């Protein structure tokens, strides 16, 4: 049984995860774009780097497991499971990982062809896609705030599309710029699809959604996404370039 986490610890974990998320969201597109500006051309490599750090999750997962073991020993309970995820959830998580792999590739391709400002605005439209798919998949109820946010971001993307040639990088063809535009929107749409699907999996899971369970979920789907990118790198001979 998963030990109860205090309200204070929940807030601490929430703050830590929010900081990591903010740093990743702000820093990742800048680093990836810098790689392409400096002459990098390996899109599969950029895709691979987005989830390759998944083994780091084993650290908090191990701490959580030891904490559960200690708690159960104190309560004379020897029912600690090494893995909380059920086979059904495991298979569903693999599907999410494959979708994440496609998302990572689309995102990396878009970053390679578009300025950070443009790609950032296009990626922000994932809120609109998330709201749409959430309404279809998990029956999300809209509020005035969510509708207003979706409307403004959608209008921003439309205006940007109408003036898409204004920030086209020098020396880049119109065809590649438009393709990068489409791929970035595809990444936003896939991201908007993944979030409601994850929530659906959590709702259908016949078990408590604990911090340990979420870590296991992240490890599996990030591993699958990394494996997806690794196969692409092998086919594209990217490892030979690295070596």
Residues 6+ apart with CB under 8 A from 221: 93, 94, 96, 97, 100
- Contacts of residue 238, Cβ cutoff 8 Å, sequence gap at least 6: 42, 44, 45, 48, 232
Rounded CA separation 203/123 (Å): 26
pLDDT band at 132 (very low <50, low <70, confident <90, very high): confident
Compute the distance between CA of residue 149 and CA of residue 163 in angstroms, rounded to an integer.
Answer: 22
Average pLDDT value for residue range 134-148:
78
More confident call, 181 vs 120: 181
pLDDT for the residue 186? 93
Q: In the prediction, which pLDDT does 171 show?
A: 67
pLDDT top residue among 211 and 153: 211
pTM assigned to the model: 0.82
Residue 54 CA to residue 45 CA, distance in Å, equals 15
At 68-115, the pLDDT tens digits run: 777 766 655 545 667 778 888 999 999 999 999 999 999 999 988 888
Phi, psi of 10 (to 5 degrees): -60, -40
- Output the six-digit token pair for 64: 């959580």
More confident residue, 110 or 210: 110
In whole angstroms, give the CA distance from residue 243 to residue 235: 15
Q: What is the pLDDT of residue 156?
A: 67
Can you list the alpha helix ranges (DSSP code H) found in the chain? 7-37, 43-49, 58-74, 87-113, 116-124, 126-137, 144-162, 174-204, 211-235, 238-242
Number of Cβ atoms within 10 Å of the Cβ of 158: 10
222-to-12, 89, 98 alpha-carbon distances in Å = 24, 15, 9
What is the three-class DSSP state of 15? Answer: helix
Give the span between the Cα atoms of 134 and 132, in whole angstroms.
5
What's the distance, Cα to Cα, between the start and end of the chain in Å?
Answer: 46
């Amino acid at each position: 049984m998963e030990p109860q986490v205090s309200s204070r610890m929940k807030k601490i974990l929430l703050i830590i995860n929010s900081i990591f998320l903010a740093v990743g969201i702000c820093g990742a597109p800048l680093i990836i774009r810098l790689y392409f500006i400096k002459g990098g051309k390996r899109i599969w490599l950029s895709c691979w780097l987005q989830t390759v750090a998944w083994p780091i999750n084993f650290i908090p997962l191990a701490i959580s497991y030891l904490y559960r073991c200690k708690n159960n020993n104190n309560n004379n309970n020897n029912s600690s499971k090494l893995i909380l995820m059920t086979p059904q959830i495991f298979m569903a998580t693999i599907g999410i990982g494959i979708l994440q792999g496609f998302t990572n590739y689309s995102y990396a391709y878009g970053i390679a062809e578009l300025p950070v400002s443009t790609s950032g605005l296009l990626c922000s439209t994932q809120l609109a896609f998330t709201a749409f798919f959430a309404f279809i998949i998990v029956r999300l109820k809209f509020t005035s705030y969510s509708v207003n946010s979706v409307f403004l971001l959608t209008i921003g993307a439309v205006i940007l599309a109408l003036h898409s040639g204004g920030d086209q990088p020098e020396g880049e063809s119109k065809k590649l710029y438009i393709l990068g535009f489409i791929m970035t929107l595809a990444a936003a749409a896939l991201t908007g699809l993944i979030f409601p699907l994850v929530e659906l999996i959590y709702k259908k899971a016949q078990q408590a959604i604990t911090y340990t369970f979420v870590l296991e979920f992240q490890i599996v789907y990030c591993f699958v996404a990394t494996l997806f990118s690794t196969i692409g790198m092998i086919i594209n001979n990217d490892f030979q370039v690295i070596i």
